[in-house]
Amino acid sequence: MAGRVSFRQDRCKGCGLCVHVCPVKIIFLDDTKTNRKGYHPATITEMDKCIACANCARMCPDSIITVERL
């Protein structure tokens, strides 16, 4: 099953929990960007590999991740 993940990058605190629980390893902290809180926000490298497991959204302490099943 395919999915689409979106992050409210302006609220991400860069804790990396989502990175560690992603079974397909497509989430990373983008060290080329800094959000308004001063953190490197999480982002996706290859959206087409997302399996919509929602592990990232469940793990996020700030509820900034939305997962859609396609």
pLDDT tens, residue by residue, 37-64: 999 999 998 999 999 999 999 999 999 9
Q: What are phi and psi of 50, to 5 degrees?
A: -65, 130
Q: Name the 3-class secondary structure at 69.
A: strand
Q: Does an H or E element contain 43, and which?
A: strand 42-44
Q: What is the pTM of this model?
A: 0.90
**φ and ψ at residue 58, rounded to 5 degrees:** -65, -35
What's the mean per-residue pLDDT of the chain? 95
Residue 1 binned pLDDT confidence (cut-offs 50, 70, 90): confident
Give the bridge partners for 5, in sequence order: 67
Give the 3-state secondary structure percentages of the chain, helix then strand then coil, rounded to 5. Answer: 20, 25, 60
